[in-house]
Structure 1
């Protein structure tokens, strides 16, 4: 299905509009004045057609967008050593994660819980209502593909919750059990694995309905999307707290299959790192699963632009998402650093708070407007990038004892692009390294590496590659490195105009121990069902 640019935009608007409306129109039983014979013979509360099932699937994508529209979706990521928030104002919920003192009454915790469980519960409804469609002479391949999307979205919702809570209930019924008990983490991960494997078996290699020259990056999940998310799951599974190291080989194997079949799925690295954050490139081949937004259809994203700027004049930003000073200082110089941070802003001499500014949040200089409702954008969320698939393959291969040339090459592709070089061309000689002012740094810089601890090199590369993308906290948890990272946050060289060394804006006031890696269940949810308190 090939769409021109205008038709593509209309299609996206229909896709987004249906996503918002279908919850009301599809999940409630209704009948036409002239009933369809097929619907007449279906069990009660069943879909009457493939079109109804597709509307239900669009509704689930709409619920995911609703969940992801604010930073609530990623609030636990403020626990990482890359992200911080404002020391005052209305940022208390983010500061709790930032300072490792998350309370069960945290509003972001509750909001995320409710939003993700709404996706899970409605996925169960869609699966239940689709059961009768198998009884009739319909396009079963199309039905399978649509159900694959349901399993993918349910698995994603379970997984996103599991990265916040160590124990949680696993509801798989049409009507949720009000007295349900928590499942163990092993049981939760087994269910996520089952959902993603079911999705992989049913999804198409590429979803043709939203795969055009203008709409790239799997705005609807395909087989590669499911495999990529599975590889991330296995990497977490091999780490804390389950520590099933056999899953490293599973992570490597699954990531490798995505790499081998990237062309079929429409995946690859983009040539220029900075282009990922440009609004014109909000659909790109590097996103293996994209949560898509569209301002003209009223589907707007509230996580970028203004929220990343300082609140003081002349910016008038919302002081929500800043970078840690020490993280900025330690970040290797080069084109990737320039694309990650707004080094044009004199953040060291801000009055309210001296914190580096993420270009990944504000957008590159001049790319997003700073007027009107500039807290609203149509920037998409790249829920997972192909760069992560490459680094999972490199790290998991090494941790499972396989340091192959292909694993090294996966790492080196990321390193080359970070240096501003073509990612597919090997670099056999050292190159000069320049600082932010273009001055050469003494010593030789080797871009390609083929010796050393591949697993640790890949782990560290993730630190820089995904800075500010809400992933670092989960990496620190799985490798049990929270204390190592967060107890070493003091600025080393950043000073104000008076020569005063800057200090950490939000010092840690909670435990950095293993007992504080996961957030409590929301108190309001436990009050409704005391069985969840264990």
Structure 2
């Protein structure tokens, strides 16, 4: 198993700072001025790590990952204690949220604060900056070049979230003057896309940026060339640049560094065989240390209420459950349901009780649930849990789709889809190894049955096969929104979903002007209207 980041970096990574009042305000470094701070020991690496810390924000990054990726789509409902719990998610899910929506406002503010951190670091870490290591030695030019490339990638990573939700947004790559703050305007979607790809390409092109294979074990969790190429494929795919997406995904595949974990359930129940496995391309790194509350809020947030002690969020829909084929083992490892049973550390049975609160699906995410055996104090905070930003199966499916859309060989497309499907039907556990009793039954599938009934053929509707495969392979992992948007399926899918008996209005107002979502009214007011509102929300 790969070792974790050294303790000093972990401590810095686990400091989650709050948002400042405006995205235009750069977060302070403490009592140091920037001139003084960047002359202190380890200021360079601390600034780099400071650009990762926005990912540790419990509510505006981690919960938001699922709020946008799952909950406003047909994959899950918000759950919670009652209809008013998470009402802002309901407003976005219906389809025409107000410009004052707190959820969208928080996303905007958080990402621009993160971008501000990156801009401040890039202005102060240059090849001419004499940075000092702990102990007094100077940081080499090679290390500084890596810092710069790493920070640029992270800036592009945060801008992608803004572009995919709000479309065109202000393009800010430097610290703004007071006059510039008051006269900001939106850049076009194409300009934001160009900036994202420029930042990502700078990371890929930097000779001092390591590959994932060459990354020192103590630095696992930091950006690499392979991560940058995988994310580049995601960006190009979102914008319909299929040839470019294919080339970027292939650069990841051809390294031979990554591979599928044979048993799907291990991905979400183990550090060694999951988050640290060869399937993990990019993840938010965490370390479990007894006595320290340093885990993600997601296991607490998205586990059932009542006797379980969770908060009951992000509830898979019946529509998602029905998408799985008979024999697909991913179902039992993706959803968990009311009255399922798990053994507790004291030998008693933990029965899941999803009644009496705003869960109208009867399901929760198995991927977010941490069994009692992995909860040393019985709670959901001190656990070895994180989530994937990019998995290798995602890269394989991105390559298959880009290959298909760019006119590639259909048999090769089918082969890549089947790489992912074979695991689901043939090598993954048919039972939940951590459970005492699960109600979902997954029958065995033989090799012959797979080839005859489940393997995708070159003559099949391959785009439909890819759409299905992405939904069931990546279910409840926060990617559904982005897939529906880039396929131009969001409006039709959510309109159809709104007619289901358990939709509760979600999708009923989604139309061609739902996206891009409204710019927060506070930002329009702050700039005196120089930032204009998106169509459909004026």
State the TM-score, normalized to the length of structure 2: 0.79
Deviation of the 1:331 alpha carbon: 2.0
Q: Distance in 2 between matches of 1:199 and 1:490?
A: 42
Q: Please tell me whether residue 474 in structure 1 is matched to residue 473 in structure 2.
A: no
1-structure distance, mates of 2:176, 2:119? 8
Query: 1:178-197, aligned counterparts within 5 Å?
Result: 178=181, 179-197=183-201
The residue correspondences of 1:145-160 to structure 2 (distance < 5 A) are: 145-160=146-161
Aligned residue for 1:59?
50
Count of residues paired in the alignment: 478
What secondary structure sits across from 1:288 in the alignment? Answer: strand
Which stretches in structure 2 are left out of the alignment for 5+ residues?
18-25, 132-137, 341-351, 430-439, 534-538
Offset of residue 233 of structure 1: 0.3
2:221 to 215, 219, 222: 219
Which residue does the alignment assign to 2:435? none
User: What does residue 364 of structure 2 align with?
Assistant: 357
Q: How does 1:85-96 map to 2 (within 5 A)?
A: 85-86=78-79, 88-96=83-91
- Output one character per residue of 1:415-458: Cα deviation in whole Å (capped at 9) or x when no partner: 111113389xxxxxxxxxxx826399999523253332323322
Superposed, 1:73-222 pairs within 5 Å as 73-77=65-69, 78-86=71-79, 88-131=83-126, 133=128, 139-175=140-176, 177-178=180-181, 179-202=183-206, 203-206=209-212, 211=217, 218-222=220-224
Distance change >3 Å, CA 518–CA 303, structure 1 → 2: farther
Match of 2:346 in 1: none
Determine which of 325, 331, 352 is the counterpart of 1:332. 325
Q: Contact (CA 8 Å) 1:289, 1:383: kept in 2 or not?
A: yes
Q: How much has 1:143 moved relative to structure 2?
A: 1.3
SS in 1 for 2:389: strand
| Alpha-carbon displacement from aligned partner over 1:386-415 (angstroms, at most 9, x marks no partner) | 111100100011011112544332211111
Partner of 1:416: 422
Contact 1:85 1:98 in 2 (8 A): no
Segments of 5+ residues of structure 1 without an aligned counterpart are 32-42, 239-246, 424-434, 493-502
Residues 490-529 of structure 1 deviation map (CA, whole Å, 9 limit, x = unaligned): 899xxxxxxxxxx315323642222103321122222212
1:506 corresponding residue in structure 2? 504
Cα distance in 1 between the residues matched to 2:244 and 2:284: 26
- Residue in structure 2 matching 1:71, options 54, 63, 71: 63
Instruction: Please give the alpha-carbon distance, in whole angstroms, between the structure 1 residues aligned to 2:176 and 2:36.
Output: 13
Between 392-401 and 504-513, the greater mean CA deviation after superposition: 504-513
Instruction: Name whichever of 339-348 and 195-204 sits farther off.
Output: 339-348
| Aligned partners of 1:345 and 1:357 also within 8 Å | no
- Conservation of the 8 A alpha-carbon contact between 2:418 and 2:456: yes
- Return closer, same or farther for 1:300/1:127 CA change in 2, 3 Å cut-off: same
CA distance in 2, matches of 1:14, 1:250: 39
Q: Structure 1 residues 411-420 or 279-288, which shifts more? A: 279-288
| Structure 1 position 299 matched with structure 2 position 289 | no
**Residues 357 and 484 (structure 1), Cα distance of their counterparts in 2 relative to 1, 3 Å cut:** same
Q: Shift of the alpha carbon at 1:75?
A: 2.4
Asked if structure 2 preserves the Cα contact closer than 8 Å seen for 1:105 and 1:524, the reply is: yes
Tell me which of 396, 418, 424 is aligned to 1:390.
396
Q: Which of the residues 488, 493, 496 maps onto 2:496?
A: 488
SS at match of 1:133: coil
Q: Tell me which residue corresponds to 2:443.
A: 438
For 1:161 and 1:343, the matched residues in 2 are separated by 34
Shift of 1:324: 1.2
Query: Structure 1 pair 405/323, CA: closer, same or farther in 2 (3 Å)?
Result: same
In the alignment, is the contact (CA less than 8 A) between 1:273 and 1:417 conserved in 2? yes
Residues 316, 476 of structure 2: 8 Å contact kept:
yes
After superposition, the Cα gap between the structure-2 partners of 1:388 and 1:436, relative to the gap in structure 1 and judged at 3 Å, is same
TM-score (norm 1): 0.80
Evaluate the alpha carbon distance shift between residue 204 and residue 290 of structure 1 in structure 2; reply closer, same or farther with a 3 A threshold: same
Matched with 1:515 is 513
Q: Secondary structure at the match of 1:511?
A: coil
Give the distance between the partners of 2:381 and 2:499, measured in 1 at CA.
Answer: 30
Residue 105 of structure 1 and its aligned partner are, at CA, apart by 2.0
The RMSD of aligned alpha carbons is 3.4
Equivalence for 2:437 = none
Distance 1:93 1:138 in 2: 46
| 1:436 to 1:20, Cα distance in 2 relative to 1, 3 A | closer
Q: Secondary structure at the match of 1:384?
A: strand
CA drift at 1:107: 1.9
- CA apart distance, 1:158: 0.4
CA contact (8 A) 1:95 1:506 kept: no
